[in-house]
Structure 1
Amino acid sequence: MAAIGVHLGSTCACAAVYKDGRADVIANDAGDRVTPVVVAYSENEEVVGLAAKQNRVRNLSNTVVKVKQILGRSSGDLQAQKYIAESKCSVIEKNGKLHYEIDGKFISPEEVAKLIFSKMKETAQSALGSDVNDTVITVPFDFGEKQKNALGEAAMAAGLNVLRLIHEPSAALLAYGIGQDSPNGKSNVLVYKLGGTSLSITVIEVNSGLYRILSTNTDDSIGGICFTEALAQHLASEFQRTYKYDVRGNSRAMMKLMNSAEVAKHALSMLGSANCFVDSLYDGMDFDCNVSRARFELICSALFNKCIDAIKKLLHQVGLAADDIHKVVLCGGSARIPKLQQLIKDLFPTVDLLNSIPPDEVIPIGAAIEAGILLGRENLSLDNEILSVECSTKDILVKTVDESGADKFMVALPSGTPLPARRQHILQAPGNNSSIFVEFYESLEKSPIKEDDKFAQIVLQDLDVKEDGLHDILTVLTMKRDGSLHVTCTDQDTGKCEAVTVEVAT
């Protein structure tokens, strides 16, 4: 009996099959091991994958890309607003939910994702020669409950039996069996994922097979597409230098250059140079240009620096040095770039850099291994199940005042607390006040607390004044798996109670 692991990224999807104790990525009908997350609509059919991507130049307004960025989001969401502004395909709100408007039809993001999952399922079944439904789906660590539900519902609508949703960093560790090689020891692992549209870095403490997220950060301002765009801009400059025409304002010509730049970028991860040829780029003129790896690295030098600076920043936030990291796992298609790998090696000269599995295949392989674990495969190469526990990523602190009136902070819910969690504390405040302000902050461990870190406050009014005593305030914090936090404060003398719910606290 087989199962599959599916990673649906913003730009590409990949499926791995678990069978006979092994997890292997499978190629699609075009022979590629990853499938573009692109769906093109025409009057009579929907085209998914490479064919849709290749035809996007001619069918721009009817082609959906990067659907993962809008799944489960509302029009008020900042990321959704950015997506809508950049989308060549019309996105509107209908009945309180976002839809693509294509040829007078309204198509939900979940329907688009369903077609991608269907493609992944067909690919797996074609490789196995039999039906396969049991699936583990990967999700980014910062996905909220609505995004997770939308992704799971799309997979189920495609006929998949979703065994579990697993976080992408945890899947990356599972792919390399991290946590089993030294089951009694403690180590810190940095998962570096550079995908098509974002950079995610996560530091995980591994202790006896248990994963604890120490800190994580996602930067949506940099991804593989930034490298492609930089190279496309260079090609446009070369065309202008040769033919005296500037094509940067021509969307069709720039789309062609983007396609050529992407092919060249992939080739430069393996070769020292790549040829960029575009048929009839502008006004019937063909364009032919050779780009060396050294030139590509020079063009993208600022992007490489940004990718490395993000690691340094996260390590500083979590209070770790490079020597405190024991392993670095590379994942995401753009982590294939040799220059980036070399810069990471230079930053961690004594650390194991794990890249023996192609970076764009690490996460689906980990998901497939998890599927094998859940199905109870006795012959799985991993002897014991590795547990992935969702934890709070930041300290939740309460600010009160002491008897002298000075501010004081107390950690009410420490980072790394397994979720869901419930904590209660008795806070004391000067009795000569009839009103008490209780303020809540979130902060990374060891980081100084700033006013910007405050995310909520509760005010208790009309309390009995005690000239010689203290107010006892029972404070209860409840955090769910999705990071939402509910807080109640109750005055023990009067029974007066106030509450606040914060949808995403950490």
Structure 2
Amino acid sequence: MAAIGVHLGATCACAAVYKDGRADVVANDAGDRVTPAVVAFSESEEVVGLAAKQSRIRNISNTVVKVKQILGRSAGDPQAEKYIAESKCSIIEKNGKLQYEIDNKLINPEDVAKLIFSKMKETAQSALGSDVNDVVVTVPFDFGENQKNALGEAAAAAGFNVMRLIHEPSAALLAYGIGQDSPTGKSNVLVYKLGGTSLSITVIEVNSGIYRVLATNTDDSIGGVCFTEALAQHLASEFQRSCKHDIRGNPRAMMKLMNSADIAKHSLSTLGSANCFVDSLYDGLDFDCNVSRARFELICSSLFSKCVEAIKNLLQQVGFTADDINKVVLCGGSARIPKLQQLIKDIFPTVELLNSIPPDEVIPIGAAIEAGILLGKENTLLEEEALIECSAKDILLKGVDESGADKFTVLFPSGTPLPARRQHTLHAPGNISSVCLELYESLGKGPMNEEDKFAQIVLQDLDKKEDGLHDILTVLTMKRDGSLHVTCTDQDTGKCEIITVEVAS
């Protein structure tokens, strides 16, 4: 049995296949292991991949890039508005949906994504030599339900049987077998993903093969394209210095420079220098320039600083130091850059930095491994989407009934899937000025005892009422780790008290 893992990024897509107990990324018909997520439209055909990217200079208004950024989003969404403002393709809203307007035809973002998925299916099936359609597709951790649905539907429309959508950081861990190789014990893993248009950093606790996200942050203001733009600006300055022409205001010339800078950037990840040659860049003039890796690193020094500062900020948010992290996983094409890898090593000098798998192949390989697991060919690792934390005991709120006797209301029965949220309105006599709410936990056997009480919260200085009741709204949120956040609010005065119990159950 075989299966496929697909990662559709903002700038590139990649497919891996699972067969005979191992997962491998497969090359497309051009021999490349990643395919530009670019679709060019003409009257007669749709072109996907490198050919579409290369023809963009001549066909810019009919070429769709970064479709993942708008997939499943609606007009008014800040991300969608930003995308529309930057898009060279016309985008309109019709019947509440955003659509591309190309050659007087309306095209849904889902249809563009479907074409990219079709290309990935064709690539994978060609490598396998069979019509395998079972797939696991990766999604960013910050994708909402609409975006996940749109991605899944696009893959299904391409003829895939979507077995599961898994989060990109989880796929990265699966690629390196984290949680499978040591089924017991707890560790913290930092997943660092620098893709084409965004930087995502996630801290995951791995405990007995279960993944739990402790914190995650995505920065859409930095990505691989920022490095390309910085290098293109440098090349434009070099052209102006040597040829006395400023081409920064010329979109066509700058697009040519961007393409050349992109190729040079990739070369500099493995070579000490790269040659940038552009035929007839401007006014019939050719441009030829050599860029060293040291020069590239200097040009992008502020971007590198931003990339590593984000790690420090997230660690601070979780209350961790670098010593609390056991492993760092690198993924995303731009995580190939040697200078960036060195700066990350400097933050975590004693931590294992996992980069033996090419960073732009980590996520699809993890997806293919998950596909293999779902087919039952490998050990049945239960991943975060398959295992849900549950509350171990009943959580009850103590109140008083009409006769004045104690009354216990079960808010979270044992076995409640976490995270969970409950709200309850407690009625207290109007002639008192303070109310004490008490929380108990129980295994459901016998009456409540004082030792079952684990928390109380007191609301004071309430306005007394001669007749009527105090209505106290209690909102309880229990997280996956069992911690309980309680907010009590007097509906009349708005007085509020908040407590957090670290482990309630």
TM-score (norm 2): 0.81
- 1:155 maps to a residue whose letter is A
Matched, 1:471 2:474: no
Q: Counterpart of 1:56 in 2: which secondary structure?
A: helix
Matched, 1:329 2:338: no
After TM superposition, list the pairs within 5 Å mapping 1:202-351 onto structure 2: 202-351=202-351
Q: Deviations over 1:98-118 (max 9, x none)?
A: 000000000000000000000
Contact 1:212 1:391 in 2 (8 A): no
Q: Deviations over 1:157-213 (max 9, x none)?
A: 000000000000000000001012222111100000000000000000000001010
Contact 1:323 1:348 in 2 (8 A): yes
Q: What is the distance in 2 between the residues matched to 1:368 and 1:432?
A: 65
Q: Identity across aligned pairs (percent)?
A: 84
Matching residue of 2:403: none
Contact 2:186 2:205 in 1 (8 A): yes
After TM superposition, list the pairs within 5 Å mapping 1:16-35 onto structure 2: 16-35=16-35
- 1:466 maps to a residue whose letter is K
In terms of mean alpha carbon deviation, does 91-100 or 179-188 score higher?
A: 179-188
Q: Deviations over 1:46-90 (max 9, x none)?
A: 000000000000000000000000000011100000000000000
Q: What is the distance in 2 between the residues matched to 1:291 and 1:303?
A: 18
Q: What is the distance in 1 between the residues matched to 2:57 and 2:417?
A: 47
Q: What is the distance in 2 between the residues matched to 1:59 and 1:480?
A: 50
Q: What is the distance in 1 between the residues matched to 2:427 and 2:226?
A: 52
Contact 1:275 1:290 in 2 (8 A): yes
- 1:4 maps to a residue whose letter is I
Matched, 1:386 2:382: yes
- Cα shift at 1:426: 6.5
Distance 1:250 1:430, change over 3 A: farther
Q: What is the distance in 1 between the residues matched to 2:431 and 2:233?
A: 67
Q: Deviations over 1:275-327 (max 9, x none)?
A: 00000000000000000000000000000000000000000011000000000
Contact 1:5 1:369 in 2 (8 A): yes
Matching residue of 1:422: 421
Contact 2:180 2:381 in 1 (8 A): no
Q: Counterpart of 1:475 in 2: which secondary structure?
A: strand
Q: Counterpart of 1:184 in 2: which secondary structure?
A: coil
Contact 1:213 1:391 in 2 (8 A): no
Matching residue of 2:66: 66
Consecutive aligned runs of 4 or more in structure 1 exceeding 4 Å deviation = 389-392, 417-420, 424-434, 467-470, 476-481, 487-493
Matched, 1:120 2:116: no
Q: What is the distance in 1 between the residues matched to 2:474 and 2:238?
A: 64
Q: Deviations over 1:324-375 (max 9, x none)?
A: 0000000000000000000000000000000000000000000000001111
Q: What is the distance in 1 between the residues matched to 2:185 and 2:196?
A: 35
Q: What is the distance in 2 between the residues matched to 1:83 and 1:357?
A: 31
Q: What is the distance in 2 between the residues matched to 1:178 and 1:121?
A: 27
- Cα shift at 1:386: 3.5
Q: What is the distance in 2 between the residues matched to 1:223 and 1:206?
A: 27
Distance 1:348 1:101, change over 3 A: same
Q: What is the distance in 1 between the residues matched to 2:314 and 2:333?
A: 21
Q: What is the distance in 2 between the residues matched to 1:480 and 1:132?
A: 39
- Cα shift at 1:129: 1.0
- 1:349 maps to a residue whose letter is P
Q: Counterpart of 1:178 in 2: which secondary structure?
A: coil
- 2:148 maps to a residue whose letter is K
Q: What is the distance in 1 between the residues matched to 2:466 and 2:331?
A: 61
- Cα shift at 1:473: 2.6
- 1:290 maps to a residue whose letter is N
Unaligned runs of 5+ in 1: 393-411, 437-462, 482-486, 494-506
- 2:261 maps to a residue whose letter is A
Distance 1:431 1:219, change over 3 A: farther
Q: What is the distance in 2 between the residues matched to 1:224 and 1:433?
A: 63
* Structure index of larger Rg: 2
Q: What is the distance in 2 between the residues matched to 1:173 and 1:275?
A: 36
Q: What is the distance in 1 between the residues matched to 2:154 and 2:478?
A: 27
Distance 1:422 1:376, change over 3 A: same
Q: Counterpart of 2:56 in 1: which secondary structure?
A: coil
Matching residue of 1:150: 150
Q: What is the distance in 1 between the residues matched to 2:208 and 2:113?
A: 36
Matching residue of 1:85: 85
Distance 1:471 1:70, change over 3 A: same
- Cα shift at 1:95: 1.0
Contact 2:138 2:166 in 1 (8 A): yes
TM-score (norm 1): 0.81
Contact 1:179 1:386 in 2 (8 A): no
Q: What is the distance in 1 between the residues matched to 2:236 and 2:304?
A: 21
- Cα shift at 1:387: 1.6
Q: What is the distance in 2 between the residues matched to 1:432 and 1:233?
A: 73
CA RMSD of aligned residues (A): 3.0
Q: Counterpart of 2:265 in 1: which secondary structure?
A: helix
- 2:83 maps to a residue whose letter is Y
Q: Deviations over 1:409-448 (max 9, x none)?
A: xxx99xxx965523456779995899x9xxxxxxxxxxxx
Distance 1:8 1:432, change over 3 A: farther
Distance 1:467 1:364, change over 3 A: farther
